[in-house]
Amino acid sequence: MAIKFVPRPSAERGNANHGWLKTFHTFSFAMYYDPEHEQFGSLRVLNEDRVEPHTGFGAHGHREFEIFSYVVSGQIEHGDSMGNREVLKRGDLQMTSAGTGIRHSEKAYGEKQLHFLQIWSMPSQRGLKPQYFTRHFTDEEKKDRWSRIVAPVGSEDVIEKREATGPAPVHSPLTLHASLISPSTTLSHVLPPASGSFPSKAYIHVVQTSGYNPHEPNGAQITVSGPEGNSVELREGDGVYITGDAGHMLSVRNSGDRVAEVLLFDVE
């Protein structure tokens, strides 16, 4: 099948301003519900959050989700019932495999606003032992290339240790790539094989780095194109659902005048 693009405009995401928290929801979450945007393959939650200093999410419970946080700016203080305590900064990623159940807290640390993406995926197996992992990626590692920062357990270069190099391990059929794409630069990405007869799926999200904006998006701009010449333009906060046959190549071009921070998910 030809590659199909279905845009997810930023201004149509779920959005709430609680004062201490400004949040966007790509998928149904909390009080936001949209039956057309509940999940995409194993990708269940993609929240873009801004948390004011000295505030955050107090201790609360989760089970049977793979939960990871991608820090854009500021610092996040993580604590959990497994005894993990640490502060993460830009470029850091923490992965919590909730399994049979954990409690954790996520709070803004220091005097600056925290901007991070909280992402949940559905595990391939229930009843897993809870685990926690952290990974660290520099801007240089992501500059004008896809840096693989999350990958399924058992994949190449995936090390199941709390601290290690390479992508964080996830118990889901999901791989996350991150990039900082310079103006006029084009990156390619080949859709990977999918299980059974299902088409391959990918999701692209442009991080809203220029500031909180619940209205029509501005800031960085990219153009995503398929081999048949079809394309879609995205601005900060926008996303796009992508389906197509394995082996088809996507082109992601920075068509704006500033660096675009882009996340690309391969999912099943």
Is the pTM value of this prediction over 0.85? yes
Whether residue 197 is predicted with pLDDT greater than 80 in this model: the reply is no
Tokens of 80: 């959990």
Maximum Cα interatomic distance, the chain, rounded to a whole number of Å = 51
Q: Report whether pLDDT(188) > 70.
A: yes
pLDDT (tens digit, 9 = 90+) per residue, 164-183? Answer: 999 999 999 999 999 999 99
Residue 137 has what pLDDT? 97
pLDDT at 195: 77
Backbone torsions φ then ψ of 141, nearest 5 degrees: -65, -25
User: What is the rounded CA–CA span in Å between residue 138 and residue 23?
Assistant: 25
Mean pLDDT of 177-196: 94
Does 1 have pLDDT greater than 80?
Answer: no
The pLDDT tens digits of the residues spanning 17-30 come to 999 999 999 999 99
Q: What pLDDT is recorded for position 11? A: 97
Token pair of 168 as six digits? 């964080």
- Quickly name the fold that domain 4-267 has: Jelly Rolls (2.60.120)
- Using one digit for the tens of pLDDT, what is the confidence trace for 113-141? 999 999 999 999 999 999 999 999 999 99
Domain ranges of the chain: 4-267
Alpha-carbon gap, residue 49 to 60, rounded angstroms? 17
pLDDT number for residue 194? 84
pLDDT score recorded for residue 116: 98
What does the mean pLDDT of the chain come to?
96
Nearest C-alpha neighbor of 87 from the set 114, 65, 61: 114
- End-to-end Cα, the chain, rounded Å: 16
Quickly list H helices, the chain: 139-142
Mean pLDDT of 189-215: 92
Strand bridging mode 66-73 / 239-244 = unpaired
How does pLDDT run across 52-103, given as a tens digit for each residue? 999 999 999 999 999 999 999 999 999 999 999 999 999 999 999 999 999 9
